[in-house]
A and B are shown apart, each in its own frame.
Chain A
Amino acid sequence: MGAILEVRDLRVTYRSRAGNSFRALDGLSFGLESGEVLGVLGESGSGKSTLAASLLGLFRANAVIRTGAVLFEGQDLLQAESSDLQRIRGRRISLIFQEPSVALHPTMRAGRQIRQVLAAHGMVGRRALVERTHQVLETLFFAEEAERIARSYPHELSGGQRQRVLIAQAIACGPAVIIADEPTASLDPTTQMEILGVFRDLRKSLSLTMVFITHNPALLAGFADRVLVLYAGRAMELGRAEEVLVSPKHPYTQSLFQSIPPLPGEPRNARKQKLPVVSGDAFSSSFSRAGCPFESRCPERMDICKSCEPRLVNLSETHTVSCFRYEGQ
């Protein structure tokens, strides 16, 4: 099966007013099969939000696309006419944001906000719009609840309900791909799990292709098919979720997972003792251009890491890692 979405050697930089440039994405490549969920794992500054926006061909005014292509069903979104993009965004590929309270219009009822999406993509007739809105809401809420939700203003809804409304907007036009940028980050842990459950169900019922972007590795367990670990705009590690989450190979992924506190009764449980941390501060754009961006923080760095850029090494058919540790193996 061919890739439905493919990113090829994408390099995006931001120019600051002072004339400095910051590399947000630095030669990123990956493909997404139809029906697959790709989990993108990245901390602040890793370029994950730039990636989310790039997949829709959305760029800030100070962004410069150095190289690369984003191919959706074979069409390069970075070269597409804006009228073509309008037809794709929200209908074929939709984006779900982190903050449902900001993404929704505060003085418009939820139902109308969903109808507007449908209308913008060419659905006509009040009756058809209302019907489709209800149909969508009923996939996300209990049937008896859907009516009330449609008539509610965002402030009358809980955080979880608002996030469901955003999801409703995103799936209203029956898109092929959904990109979710930290969709659960602002929610309570229990609500977070509830929304994750919604994504699981939708994935089954609508056979969606998804890019699920998060900073929390544990959200991807049992949900993502493959995991891409992003650092400084580069793919540090990419593989099946079991491979990356259970036996990570890149020193960055390894130290990231170790910094999560264990629960009592789990192995490695030494309460009130120091957590193993990724030393140093999060990535800044000032790293030397030549080497590996993680070099200065890496517990296993070697001489070569500073001067040369590591290539992607295939550990198995499905698992690749960008680290000199594994070269020549």
Chain B
Amino acid sequence: MTAKSNETTQPLVRVENLVKNYSKKKLVGSAEEVRALDGVSFSIFRGTTLAIVGESGSGKSTLALCLACLERRTSGNVWFEETDLGGLREKGRRVIRRQIQLIFQDPANSFNPRWSVLEILTEPLVVQGNLGHEEMKSRAHVLLEQVALPRRLGEKFPSELSGGQRQRLAIARALGLAPKLLILDEALSALDCSVQAQIANLLMDLQASLGMTYLFISHDLAMAAYLADEIAVMSRGQIVEQGAPEGILRRPESKITRELLAAVPRLDFSRPSTEP
């Protein structure tokens, strides 16, 4: 499992002035540069959760991909422990990818539909390469237990699972490689309210028991505030506001934070936050 580091003062992830440009090809004329990330800086400490909130197109997912070594930065630095991710070659990136796992909004799209739950869980262990068949199977059972899925689901296929069970499976698969950082890219957004709460609780449990570090990417400010130690609000590729959830939600400084806050639907009738 993830070792709880004694050097808790050192951040696990340190991002400095990260820039990512995409070139948008046109049918006619030269390609156009689009700046998805525009000088982003932050740190994530071990065993904590940083939430990134913002509307679609604000650069949240690009940030996730850059951190997970699935996209190359244009400029700036991403430090993971002592390693500068930008300076790595493909082989080194592959080693890092094991330690930084991604969970997406719709896990159905990230499973092979013809694989059973056990096969899905053991595949990353095969890649790791040093476990026998029986060991892998028992490891898979431990993983199922960690995410509170019953063993009998091992023989099922992803299509036979509910949305919440699929998201638990995605988390179990990610945990299989004992990652140090889990990036949750809108991981709760597609779920029903009651299932969101279940998965949120699971994430908090895993953080307490394994000391997991999370980057929680969401457009749901209420859930972000609930789960995170720190919130960063993104807009147009930049972090416009950052701090503890209480401060950001009580005294939002940027326009985009106020908009996101107003868009948190409430059951409370006395404050109809929903009037445009």
Chain A residues with CB under 8 A of B229: 272
Q: Decide: A277 and B194 in contact? CB cutoff 8 A.
A: yes
Q: Decide: A263 and B195 in contact? CB cutoff 8 A.
A: no
- Looking at the assembled complex, report how far the CB atom of B235 sits from the nearest CB atom of chain A, in whole angstroms: 11
Q: Decide: A43 and B193 in contact? CB cutoff 8 A.
A: yes
Q: Decide: B193 and A272 in contact? CB cutoff 8 A.
A: no
Chain B residues with CB under 8 A of A194: 276
In the assembly, what is the distance between CA of A259 and CA of B269, in Å?
Answer: 18
Q: Decide: B165 and A271 in contact? CB cutoff 8 A.
A: no
Q: Decide: A263 and B249 in contact? CB cutoff 8 A.
A: yes
Residue of B195, B223, B259, B264 touching A282 (CB-CB under 8 A): B195
Map CB proximity to B onto A260-273 as digits: 1 under 8 Å, 0 otherwise: 11111100000111
* Closest residue of B by beta carbon distance from A214: B265
A304 at the A/B interface (Cβ < 8 Å)? no
B227 at the A/B interface (Cβ < 8 Å)? yes
Map CB proximity to A onto B211-242 as digits: 1 under 8 Å, 0 otherwise: 00000000111110111010000000000000
- Looking at the assembled complex, report how far the CB atom of B223 sits from the nearest CB atom of chain A, in whole angstroms: 5
Q: Which residues of B, 31-55, contact A by the 8 Å Cβ criterion?
A: 55
Q: Given A194-B276, A260-B222, A264-B249, does the pair A242, B269 have CB atoms closer than 8 Å?
A: yes
Map CB proximity to B onto A225-245 as digits: 1 under 8 Å, 0 otherwise: 000000000000000001001
Chain A residues with CB under 8 A of B113: none
Question: Which of B22-30, B116-124, B196-204 faces chain A?
Answer: B196-204
Interface size counted on chain A using CB atoms at 8 A: 43
B260 at the A/B interface (Cβ < 8 Å)? yes
B246 at the A/B interface (Cβ < 8 Å)? yes
SS class, residues of chain A in contact with chain B: loop
Residue of A192, A260, A264, A281 touching B263 (CB-CB under 8 A): A192
In the assembly, what is the distance between CA of A272 and CA of B164, in Å?
Answer: 20
Map CB proximity to B onto A170-197 as digits: 1 under 8 Å, 0 otherwise: 0000000000000000001110111011
Q: Which residues of A, 16-72, contact B by the 8 Å Cβ criterion?
A: 43-45
Q: Decide: A193 and B274 in contact? CB cutoff 8 A.
A: yes
Map CB proximity to A onto B246-276 as digits: 1 under 8 Å, 0 otherwise: 1001100000000110111111110010111
- Looking at the assembled complex, report how far the CB atom of A311 sits from the nearest CB atom of chain B, in whole angstroms: 25
Q: Decide: A43 and B269 in contact? CB cutoff 8 A.
A: no
In the assembly, what is the distance between CA of A32 and CA of B223, in Å?
Answer: 34
A275 at the A/B interface (Cβ < 8 Å)? yes
Residue of B165, B200, B225, B260 touching A190 (CB-CB under 8 A): B260
Q: Decide: B276 and A197 in contact? CB cutoff 8 A.
A: yes
Q: Decide: A264 and B225 in contact? CB cutoff 8 A.
A: yes
In the assembly, what is the distance between CA of A196 and CA of B197, in Å?
Answer: 24
In the assembly, what is the distance between CA of A262 and CA of B196, in Å?
Answer: 13
Chain A residues with CB under 8 A of B176: none
Chain A residues with CB under 8 A of B158: none
Q: Decide: B162 and A190 in contact? CB cutoff 8 A.
A: no
Q: Decide: A264 and B55 in contact? CB cutoff 8 A.
A: no
In the assembly, what is the distance between CA of A60 and CA of B222, in Å?
Answer: 38
In the assembly, what is the distance between CA of A16 and CA of B187, in Å?
Answer: 30
A217 at the A/B interface (Cβ < 8 Å)? yes
B245 at the A/B interface (Cβ < 8 Å)? yes
Q: Decide: B200 and A221 in contact? CB cutoff 8 A.
A: no
Chain B residues with CB under 8 A of A215: 192-193
Q: Decide: A197 and B274 in contact? CB cutoff 8 A.
A: yes
Q: Given A264-B225, A282-B195, does the pair A271, B245 have CB atoms closer than 8 Å?
A: yes
- Looking at the assembled complex, report how far the CB atom of B34 sits from the nearest CB atom of chain A, in whole angstroms: 16
Q: Decide: A274 and B225 in contact? CB cutoff 8 A.
A: no
Residue of B194, B264, B276 touching A278 (CB-CB under 8 A): B194
In the assembly, what is the distance between CA of A327 and CA of B68, in Å?
Answer: 56
Q: Which residues of A, 204-224, contact B by the 8 Å Cβ criterion?
A: 215-219, 221-223
B56 at the A/B interface (Cβ < 8 Å)? yes
Mark A residues whose CB is within 8 Å of B: 43-45, 159, 188-190, 192-194, 196-197, 215-219, 221-223, 242, 245-246, 255-257, 259-265, 271-278, 281-282
A263-B249, A265-B250, A278-B197 provided; 15 other pairs, C-beta below 8 A? A45-B162, A189-B55, A189-B220, A189-B263, A193-B263, A217-B267, A218-B265, A221-B269, A222-B275, A257-B267, A259-B198, A260-B197, A263-B221, A263-B225, A273-B204
Pull 6 A–B residue pairs with CB atoms less than 8 Å apart, ordered by A: A217-B193, A245-B269, A259-B197, A259-B198, A264-B250, A275-B226
